[in-house]
Structure 1
Amino acid sequence: MQCFHRSYFAVIQLGNISFRTALDTGSSDAWLISSACTTSACSVPKYQLAYKSPSFVTVNNNQTAFNVSFADGTFANGFVALETFQVKNLTVPNQGFGVVSHSNLSFTDDISGLLGLGFPRLSTIFNSVPSLTPFFATMAQRGQLEYPLFGLNLGMNTSDTGSLTFGAVDGSVVSNISSIVWNEVMPFAPFGSESNASSYLQWTIPMGNLTVNGTSLTPIPTYSNISRNSLALFDVGTSGIFGPFQDVSRIYSAIPGSRLVDEAGQWVVPCDANETISFSFGHKIFLMQPTDYLIGPSESTPDLCLSWPRARAPTSDGIDWQLGTPFLRTVYSIFSFGIDTKEAPMIGLFPLRNATAPVQSPDEVASFFSAASATVSTVLPNFLLSTPSPTTPPYAFNTSVSVSVGEIVSSGLATSTYSPAIGSHHVNATAIPTLAPSPTLATFILTSDGQLVTSVSTAASPSITLGTPPGWSNGSTSHARVTLGTAVFAAFVPLFLLSARLVL
């Protein structure tokens, strides 16, 4: 079965060299393809080891291994090193990252690696070298940000440019800070040889009800003896929405004409479906219109559309739902890291869809798919499939360790020098910083009669050369040590959507 895959990237600098990195809130490590990787999968702008960046620092003589792997069998291997990271006006010296020398993960659109924005506990690098925290955690623990959070605006339409804002909320999107719905992140008990205390692992929060066209469904947790609520992971690195068979099958049973088309959990619905699907968090309903959850018409049966959510077998971590970009495009999402001894990590959601808006008409949906050329090259089976009942694996975590939502740990979050603004029962909206981008350029003209005239034009994006060190050509070096400016408190980063592409 095939489906659309979309990725979001931001441009960052390592040692004054620009790279496109895919964003991922479902992982915690930053890594780049290096010049040591020569396979066809590494045909992207590379981090040039021969350049000998003046801000590059070795770790254990490049002998600390870096290894990441993914569920689809792809991997990236290499070693851990330090480099100066710069995102707009934020500078993070001596940041640990993976220097990849072997990979079978094929990037497109000149993406050179990944920027993980998760918690340290999930980091391969942190677990190898405990002094090396992930990129966002480093800034939060050093007190470099105005507030230890970042915000994501993916853009409602595929042609939109979104934003990634560190240290502040995008004021051009969030019109009213008080309208943000805050949700406490779920801590996880230890597993294996970890310590005997719970801590934060993933950007995961408890889910309320599911709603299909106004009919409410109560999610069924995979491990109901562990959690009374289903848990949802917010993952910008995932291009779909995935949930357990027991919930996904009930969603589609409420949409007439739906049917399962493969045992991996893909459903189709009539392309003229006029139902809405909603997820509830913090007693607030977040609505998805048909163009949010429909993937596109099947090439073999164009009156049937592949659809999100897709069902999957249960995982041992107890995370039932994975909400990727189809849902995240409908909200402005804020990831607050939490403050040592003062404040638990939180996810804030600001709806971009009106929950009371009328459902899109079939004509609107058809026009959307026509403009997007969204037909999916796949052949649907001509027989009905029964819904699988996959086996539930043993729970991975230590059930003898207590876990409570909203737990405030003594270390591992942002430095305690921050003053908390996002409490469990009270939010000080005026203390949450906002940052508005400057989308236009103003030209001032003094006329002959002394009148001042202002003309406004759209600001053009600056041309960026990817993967080319300053003063470096054909393997030769000609450079001086560069002293980077001190960090400021917030940064606004344009966020770009890669062209949609089909993958297995």
Structure 2
Amino acid sequence: MPSESRQYPSLLTGESLHLKYSPFSPDHRVRTYYVVLQAGQISFRAALDTGSADFWLTSTDCTNSTCMSVPRYPLTYDSPTFVSINNNETTFTVDYADGTGASGFVARETVEVANVTVANQAFGVVTDSNITLVSEVSGILGLGFSRQSEISASAVNATPFFSTLAQQGILNYPIFGLSLTRNATGTFALGAIDVSVVHNVSQVVWNEVVPFSPVGTKTNTSGYFYWAIRMSSFTVNGTQYTPQPTYPGPSDNSSIALLDIGTPGLYGPYQDVTRLYSSFPSSRLVDESGQWAIPCDSSATMSFSFGDGTTFVLEPTDYIIGPAEGNPDLCLSWPKAAPPSADGVDWLLGTPFLRTVYSIWSYGIDYQEPPMIGLYPCNNASAPVQPFSVVESSLSATIATTLPNFVLSTPTYTTPSYVFNTSVPAVYGEIVQSELATSTYSPLMGTLAVNATALPQVTGVYTLFVTNSNGAVVTSTSHISQPSVTLGVPPGWSSAASRSVPGVGVAISMLITLVVGTWIV
């Protein structure tokens, strides 16, 4: 396997060795978006992650402090739906760029999200971890492609959760939608789009997902690996820049951007990020990790465009992280710069970007339709832009930062060898024969025309429970009642440490409460 590792998110997989930050990484202000699901009729919170494909849960065999702080899958409970794989000797490991990781074994369990049930779903049973879990979140529900799954590479018939839904035709259409907004409300729609957010489906901008060639010579077919699309430009306060791809040959001179709900920031290559910050007066590189600082009173907008050139705008409240310690007039800002990545993915757009759009993730259909990502702008382009220092005055706490008293030079890096086998072409928009949704679906997202108005739709408002930095639960009201569930406790068991939390209950085209656990450090 290739040994190059990237410095920003993209999960370690069975096909290529790449590292991403944990969704729970204590990097400035972290927001983890999670849903409540059931594994073996036991309820857990699982963080959503489009930058990985596997589902894993912390188990009772993990006895260190990081594991014991959250509800754990009880291996002492003889779940009637638990299925051992290879006598629990098929190992599972995830490693992240911040030095954290988790390991354990692969097993099968019945998994239920809302009222969609998947029997014998392969998942990672974590028995050791140094990941600091937050907001009683017990694991991760990856929503990536099968090719990205380490579990799929290590066990037979072990497709990821969403892949299973798509390949078995369980959903009305093989899509999911995510609404992550600034005020912490959110929804996760399976098999449909949330029309309480998307008021005009015709305004959704559709982007074909970028395919990748294979690694090495084990296979001679290309396919879909990341939820990644082509970026055509980025703009700061009216000054537009064309991205400079690290590998212009394999990418057809296009810059590739990976979209990931599991990443709490924005990352780009030095050759682009340096130019971006040149449009901010008094901006400066403040550490060797690629962090920049800008004046906190900046009112400049930042935008990204993809495909047809439609612009998606970020305001200061979207991209400014917070005041730097030692100079409260300077604020740390996204994006951070990152060294070149051997897979050719130059940009990583996490939640600061995804909170400004409603995102629709179409999985693609075997023989008929490529995967696509639809973006619907949620920011009001005509509203006046206010500086971060005005809007976020309540967030006055500074971020621990050692600002250098001299000008840092932009670091230089040796570009690693491209990890994919370019002798096998990966054609933009290509139709593949396997690993996407079952061909029994009727395609709505063809390359020549998109019939988005025919996509299944759901609507509704759910109660949102947000855990703030002090551990308090803040509740927003809703006209839809939801039953409570108890985390980590099997049916018929009781536990003094258990806690009742909001549950969900919706239909096959479903809208699921997407909850945010916020941890400010």
1:482 — aligned with what?
A: none
Tell me which moved more, 102-111 or 337-346: 102-111
Three-state SS of the structure 1 residue aligned to 2:232 is coil
2:235 — aligned with what?
A: 211
Matched, 1:234 2:259: yes
Describe the superposition over 1:246-270 as per-residue Cα deviations: whole angstroms up to 9, x where unpaired: 0000000011010000111000000
Q: How does 1:130-209 map to 2 (within 5 A)?
A: 130-157=156-183, 160-209=184-233
2:418 — aligned with what?
A: 395
Three-state SS of the structure 2 residue aligned to 1:292 is helix
1:220 — aligned with what?
A: 244
1:463 — aligned with what?
A: 484
Mapped partners of 2:454, 2:66: distance in 1:
46
1:30 — aligned with what?
A: 55
Letter in 1 for 2:284: R
Tell me how far 1:439 sits from its aligned partner. Answer: 4.2
1:429 — aligned with what?
A: 452
Tell me how far 1:93 sits from its aligned partner. Answer: 1.1
Tell me how far 1:491 sits from its aligned partner. Answer: 2.0
Mapped partners of 2:217, 2:110: distance in 1:
32
Describe the superposition over 1:69-119 as per-residue Cα deviations: whole angstroms up to 9, x where unpaired: 111221111111111111111111111100111111110211100101000
2:291 — aligned with what?
A: 266
Mapped partners of 2:452, 2:178: distance in 1:
18
Tell me which moved more, 326-335 or 427-436: 427-436
1:480 — aligned with what?
A: none
Tell me how far 1:438 sits from its aligned partner. Answer: 4.5
1:371 — aligned with what?
A: 394
Corresponding residue pairs, total: 471
| Structure 2 contact 108–121 (Cα < 8 Å) conserved | yes
2:514 — aligned with what?
A: 495
Mapped partners of 1:145, 1:459: distance in 2:
23
Structure 1 unaligned blocks of 5 or more: 441-455, 476-486
Tell me how far 1:156 sits from its aligned partner. Answer: 2.2
Tell me how far 1:378 sits from its aligned partner. Answer: 2.0
Tell me how far 1:387 sits from its aligned partner. Answer: 1.0
| RMSD over aligned Cα atoms | 1.8
| Structure 1 contact 259–268 (Cα < 8 Å) conserved | yes
Describe the superposition over 1:157-198 as per-residue Cα deviations: whole angstroms up to 9, x where unpaired: 2xx220111100011100011111110001100113531110
Mapped partners of 1:147, 1:23: distance in 2:
20
Letter in 2 for 1:339: I
| Structure 1 contact 87–491 (Cα < 8 Å) conserved | no
Mapped partners of 2:411, 2:518: distance in 1:
33
Three-state SS of the structure 1 residue aligned to 2:345 is coil
Q: How does 1:28-427 map to 2 (within 5 A)?
A: 28-43=53-68, 44-157=70-183, 160-227=184-251, 228-282=253-307, 283-360=309-386, 362=387, 365-427=388-450
Three-state SS of the structure 2 residue aligned to 1:7 is strand
Letter in 1 for 2:247: Y
Letter in 1 for 2:169: G
Three-state SS of the structure 1 residue aligned to 2:393 is helix
Letter in 2 for 1:129: A
Mapped partners of 1:152, 1:370: distance in 2:
28
| Structure 1 contact 10–493 (Cα < 8 Å) conserved | yes
Greater relative contact order (Cα < 8 A, sep 6+): 1
Letter in 2 for 1:167: G
Mapped partners of 1:372, 1:151: distance in 2:
30
Letter in 2 for 1:89: N
| Structure 2 contact 461–479 (Cα < 8 Å) conserved | no
Sequence identity of aligned pairs in percent?
A: 56
Tell me how far 1:22 sits from its aligned partner. Answer: 0.9
Three-state SS of the structure 2 residue aligned to 1:232 is strand
* TM-score, reference length from structure 2: 0.88
Mapped partners of 2:519, 2:218: distance in 1:
40
* TM-score, reference length from structure 1: 0.90
Tell me how far 1:473 sits from its aligned partner. Answer: 3.8
Letter in 1 for 2:449: H
Three-state SS of the structure 2 residue aligned to 1:49 is coil
| Structure 2 contact 114–507 (Cα < 8 Å) conserved | no
Three-state SS of the structure 1 residue aligned to 2:133 is coil
| Structure 1 contact 369–375 (Cα < 8 Å) conserved | no
Mapped partners of 1:423, 1:57: distance in 2:
39
Describe the superposition over 1:330-376 as per-residue Cα deviations: whole angstroms up to 9, x where unpaired: 0011111000000000000000013444332x3xx223322234531
2:13 — aligned with what?
A: none
| Structure 1 contact 2–376 (Cα < 8 Å) conserved | no
Tell me which moved more, 165-174 or 368-377: 368-377
Tell me how far 1:129 sits from its aligned partner. Answer: 1.6
2:471 — aligned with what?
A: none
Three-state SS of the structure 2 residue aligned to 1:422 is coil
Letter in 1 for 2:343: D
| Structure 1 contact 421–427 (Cα < 8 Å) conserved | yes
Mapped partners of 1:354, 1:211: distance in 2:
17
* Higher Cα Rg, which structure: 1
